[in-house]
């Protein structure tokens, strides 16, 4: 889709071409960052050996990052949508590596399907307006990050109304913030940032299970690759399956492969699909490896409370287990927009008036150059054995 004819023809064609990304096509961070500064009020901050961009005007998203100067852009940045947000669409997909949403998406207490809606299919799905429209207020800003806030009103499928206040503190990470993980990154190019997301009940009533609870839900969108797999570690103890796959399209062994304590999920941007893990199986980390760019992406989060209820994201209106749900997910898009997602959720929040809860979502990208063994980094950040991961994925290079 081309931008409107407000620009000279040559510029129009350049912008259109830049916005139409194919799997495996990676623009530079410098180009994306300059675009975001000029067109979306982007603000740059340092993290690790690299840098990242936050856009308060795009609902407070962390949009993209690089591991070192001159690097590739590591987030999904759909320039055409940012330049000309579409009107009256279910989802204004502005992309971003750290996007703030609130769950549940579906089920009896859904926020993304209309009041009383009985058929939860894509034609009836719509993102609540506060989650895809308007800017966030910047409260404070410093050399390594900023704090934003916003007030929202949401209504679930039962008609329960929620008045919420949200605060997002986003900051770049330094080696000292990583504790024992920093040693594994010594001598490597990496970028890291985290969002501390706080949800407050601004209403006069308690949030109760029988009328629906909310959760904090953070999603990162990344460019896919033909050989890229998401890596989701799982606990070997547990009663649920190691991985859930009953979300969208069926998944075979070419798409999902189960190892001894991890699951691989092909994220090539060519087949709409999703996987998830429940609280008895999920671990507080997940990631992806792109062998072409040799970029390891890792998301770590807290808290993970195995005794607390979590909200199911299955698209089933009469879901009999709405509070036995997702802690982590990965989504692979299958349309013209090339991206995949790594997602984390907080427990279901039973908050009284003026009570609040916080969910921390931390993103790291590490470039592991040719000739350097990824095994120590993968073990430190994801807790799994690289040799088994590489063999199961079919990656030929060490």
In the block, residue with structure tokens 């984390």: 344
Query: Contact, 109 vs 158, CB < 8 A?
Result: yes
Distance of alpha carbon 299 from alpha carbon 327, whole angstroms: 13
Question: What is the reported pLDDT for 116?
Answer: 81
C-alpha radius of gyration, the chain, whole number: 20
Q: Any idea what DSSP says for residue 98?
A: B
Distance of alpha carbon 151 from alpha carbon 170, whole angstroms: 18
Sequence-separated (6 or more) residues with CB below 8 Å from residue 49: 67, 68, 188, 189, 190, 191
The answer to whether residue 140 scores a pLDDT higher than 60 is yes
The answer to whether residue 26 scores a pLDDT higher than 90 is no
The share of the chain scoring above pLDDT 90, in percent, equals 90
Phi, psi of 378 (to 5 degrees): -65, -40
* 278 closest CA partner among 327, 314, 311: 327
Q: Provide mean pLDDT across the span 290-309.
A: 97
The answer to whether residue 254 scores a pLDDT higher than 50 is yes
Question: What is the reported pLDDT for 25?
Answer: 58
What confidence category does residue 4 fall into, taking pLDDT thresholds of 50, 70 and 90? Answer: very low
The share of the chain scoring above pLDDT 70, in percent, equals 93
The answer to whether residue 389 scores a pLDDT higher than 80 is yes
Q: Is the dihedral of CA 222, 227, 233, 237 positive or negative?
A: positive
The answer to whether residue 20 scores a pLDDT higher than 60 is no
Q: Find the DSSP H helices in the chain.
A: 9-19, 29-40, 79-83, 375-382, 386-393
Query: Contact, 110 vs 156, CB < 8 A?
Result: yes
The answer to whether residue 227 scores a pLDDT higher than 70 is yes
Q: Provide mean pLDDT across the span 79-103.
A: 96
Q: For the purposes of burial, counting CB atoms within 10 Å of the CB of 318, is it exposed (0-12), middle (13-18) or buried (19 or more)?
A: exposed
DSSP letters, 146-204, are EEEEEEEEEE-TT--EEEEEEEEEEEE--GGGGGGGGGGGTTSEEEEEEEEEEEEE-SS
Query: Contact, 156 vs 194, CB < 8 A?
Result: no
Domains of the chain: 9-393 (2.70.98.10)
Tokens linked to 24: 């495996």
Question: What is the reported pLDDT for 171?
Answer: 98
Question: Alpha carbon of 204 to those of 84, 134, 197, 242, 291: distances in Å?
Answer: 39, 25, 22, 40, 51
Distance of alpha carbon 347 from alpha carbon 204, whole angstroms: 21
Question: What is the reported pLDDT for 9?
Answer: 34
Q: Kindly report the average pLDDT of the chain as a whole number.
A: 93
Range scoring the smallest mean pLDDT among 15-24, 146-155, 270-279, 340-349: 15-24
Question: What is the reported pLDDT for 169?
Answer: 98
- Give residue-wise pLDDT tens across range 7-17: 333 333 333 33
The answer to whether residue 398 scores a pLDDT higher than 60 is no
Question: Alpha carbon of 337 to those of 71, 187, 391: distances in Å?
Answer: 22, 35, 30
Q: Provide mean pLDDT across the span 127-143.
A: 97
- Give residue-wise pLDDT tens across range 302-330: 999 999 999 999 999 999 999 999 999 99
369 CB neighbour count, 10 Å cutoff? 9
75 CB neighbour count, 10 Å cutoff? 27
Q: Provide mean pLDDT across the span 213-235.
A: 97
Question: Alpha carbon of 32 to those of 13, 25, 72, 288: distances in Å?
Answer: 16, 13, 9, 22
The answer to whether residue 130 scores a pLDDT higher than 90 is yes
Q: Provide mean pLDDT across the span 376-397.
A: 93
- Give residue-wise pLDDT tens across range 324-365: 999 999 999 998 899 999 999 999 999 999 999 999 999 999
Q: 132-161: buried (b, 16+ CB within 10 Å) or exposed (e) per residue?
A: beeebebeeeeeebbbbbbebebebbeebe
Question: What is the helix (H) or strand (E) element at residue 233, kind and residue range?
Answer: strand 229-233
Sequence-separated (6 or more) residues with CB below 8 Å from residue 105: 111, 112, 217, 313, 315
């Amino acid at each position: 889709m081309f931008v409107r004819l407000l620009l000279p023809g040559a510029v129009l064609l350049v912008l259109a071409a830049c916005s139409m990304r194919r799997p495996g096509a990676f623009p530079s961070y410098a180009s994306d960052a300059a675009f975001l500064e000029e067109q979306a009020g982007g603000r740059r901050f340092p993290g690790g050996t690299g840098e990242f961009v936050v856009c308060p005007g795009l609902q407070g998203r962390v949009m993209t990052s690089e591991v070192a100067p001159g690097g590739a852009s590591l987030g999904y940045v759909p320039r055409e949508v940012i330049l000309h947000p579409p009107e009256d669409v279910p989802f204004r997909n502005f992309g971003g590596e750290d996007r703030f949403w609130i769950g549940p998406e579906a089920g009896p207490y859904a926020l993304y399907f209309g009041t009383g809606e009985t058929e939860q299919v894509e034609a009836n799905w719509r993102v609540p307006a506060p989650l895809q429209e308007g800017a966030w207020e910047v409260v404070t800003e410093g050399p390594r990050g900023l704090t934003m806030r916003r007030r929202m009103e949401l209504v679930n499928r039962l008609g329960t109304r929620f008045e919420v206040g949200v605060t997002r503190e986003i900051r770049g990470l330094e080696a000292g913030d990583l504790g024992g993980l920093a040693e594994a990154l010594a001598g490597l190019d990496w970028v890291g940032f985290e969002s501390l997301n706080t949800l407050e009940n601004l209403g006069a009533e308690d949030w109760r299970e029988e009328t629906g609870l909310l959760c904090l839900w953070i999603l990162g969108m990344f460019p896919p690759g033909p050989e890229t797999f998401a890596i989701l570690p799982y606990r070997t103890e547990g009663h649920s399956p190691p991985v859930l796959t009953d979300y969208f399209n069926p998944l075979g062994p070419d798409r999902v492969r189960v190892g001894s304590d991890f699951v691989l999920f092909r994220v090539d941007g060519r087949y709409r699909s999703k996987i998830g893990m429940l609280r008895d199986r999920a671990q507080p980390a997940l990631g992806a490896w792109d062998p072409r760019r040799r970029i390891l992406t890792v998301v770590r989060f807290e808290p993970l409370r195995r005794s607390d209820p979590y909200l199911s994201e299955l698209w089933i209106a009469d879901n009999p287990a709405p509070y036995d749900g997702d802690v982590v997910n990965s989504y692979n898009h299958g349309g013209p927009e090339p991206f995949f997602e790594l997602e984390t959720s907080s427990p279901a929040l039973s908050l009284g008036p003026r009570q609040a809860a916080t969910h921390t979502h931390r993103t790291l990208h590490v470039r592991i150059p040719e000739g350097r063994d990824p095994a120590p980094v993968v073990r430190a950040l994801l807790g799994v054995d690289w040799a088994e991961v590489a063999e199961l994925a079919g990656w030929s290079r060490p």
